Amino acid sequence: MILADSQLAFASIGTIGKLFRNRKLSPVELTRFLLARIEQFNPRLNAFLTVTAELALQQAVQAEAELAKGKGHAARHDRGPLQGIPISLKDNIYTAGIRTTAGSKILRDFVPEHDAPLVTALQQSGAVLLGKTNMHEFAYGATNVNPHFGASRNPWDLGRITGGSSGGSAASLAAGLSYGSIGTDTGGSIRIPSSLCGTVGLKPSRGTVSTSNVVPLSPSLDVVGPMARTVADVALLWHTIRVSSRGPSPGPSSARKPRLGIPKEFFFDLLSPDVAAAYNSAIRLLRKNGAQIKKVSWPLMETTEEAGNQIAWAEALFCHQRSGWFPLRASEYGEDVRSRLELGTKVSAVTYLEALQSRERFILEFHSMIEEQELDAIVVPSTPITASLIGEESVSIGRALHPTRALLLRLNRPANLLGSPAISVPCHLTSTNLPVGLQFIGPLHSDSFLLALAGAFERLRIRASQVPFPLPPASK
């Protein structure tokens, strides 16, 4: 191999693609390398629930044969930048002939007959599937502490959570066990683990990536999105799986710097000192490099938590009742998920409809604020805390204890209610060597601009040496 093992494990998709096409690395060689890393590190990390070693090698052999037939993107057999790239999928995404558990006891032995459309798109791109990643049961939690399969462990500190519900995906990336992953996000399930594990995660605009053949949680909030170690790699995955790019892609022209808003309300009421310091450092870096940043008022922020809860409780209950799982098989759920499904039984039709109305008002207010203030995006922390210890149900901020789950969801749910794109990108390491994420939230269908904005910040951060690369190995 042309790179040292540590360099290869944390290389970008673009770098790997160049090595393939220059005949300095083969897809089969790379796939075997990562399968060996998974075998070595996964027992400690618990990032993968199912490893598809035989399939991965078959796909790698095919990619290698096709790439050998021609050189360059113009070649007939070159499928593009993901060809031969080993990736993973969250285990609530249907894969034909491969177990898809949704992190649950109920679906422990479920093997779908069909692929999700996004899986078909990835197959057509020539990507190599390494396996299915651990997740919070039925995607209904923010810690990835799973009562049926065990907790995923954070590669930065194995005693800490990865965040959820796409925690196995983030752990696999942070430990150099895959080059990309696809997760789902209903209240932060892509951005929370990306923030806590020091990776990048995009929650796309609702409707731009198909949720068909993905185990649902709350259909009006659910989205599917890409996760990787760099913004550029996330963009490559997003362009592959998206089914729609409709609508405008607002943002500044190349002639001016971005205009970013900092909300006066809500986002900074509960923030750990470490996260506050990291966020303030990121804002200084953005300002120093020309970004126009101003504080703005977003009054309806206080209503988002209640509206989001009512919608999610009711819709999750409906999905699980329709599937015949709840309450018939209530004893097979973990306590935390079962208790939230029970909360759904207390949501009246009137309460649910009122929550939907609150959501519509919230969406209108956000886009009016963006237009009136001439903003391109909002910039806020991704999570108010860094990764907590596994089993730590509450975290102290100031003199008060707050539920860990509520803290992790707090700054993420607004973008789900909006249906707008949001991206978490690493911005700093704390004094205890834990990652902190920065979140950009944009208007509907501004996904391309947010990726460009996050990519620009990523380059600034690397130049400022605020986060060391490569990420630490899983053996830490």
Q: Residue 423 belongs to what H/E stretch?
A: strand 422-429
Q: 295 an active-site residue?
A: no
CA distance 386 to 407: 10
Each residue of 31-64: b (16+ CB within 10 Å) or e?
A: bbbbbebbeebbeebbbbbbbbbebbbebbbbbb
Beta-carbon neighbour count of residue 475 at 10 Å?
Answer: 10
Q: Give the pairing type, strands 377-381 and 259-263.
A: parallel
H helices then E strands: how many in the chain? 15, 13
CA distance 32 to 289: 42
Q: 165 an active-site residue?
A: yes
Integer distance in angstroms from the first to the last C-alpha of the chain? 24
CA distance 411 to 298: 13
Give residues with Cβ within 8 angstroms of 280, minimum separation 6: none
Contact 283, 261 (CB under 8 A): no
What pairs with residue 462 in β-bridges?
none
Fill in the DSSP letter of residue 472.
P
Catalytic residue among 90, 166, 172, 181: 90
Q: What Rg do the C-alpha atoms of the chain give, in angstroms?
A: 21
Q: 257 an active-site residue?
A: no
SS3 assignment, position 110 = coil
Catalytic residue among 88, 165, 178, 181: 165
Beta-carbon neighbour count of residue 371 at 10 Å?
Answer: 11
CA distance 106 to 304: 31
Contact 308, 187 (CB under 8 A): yes
Q: Is the peptide bond before 152 cis (omega within 30 degrees of 0)?
A: no
Catalytic residue among 26, 189, 382, 446: 189
Residues annotated as part of the active site = 90, 165, 189
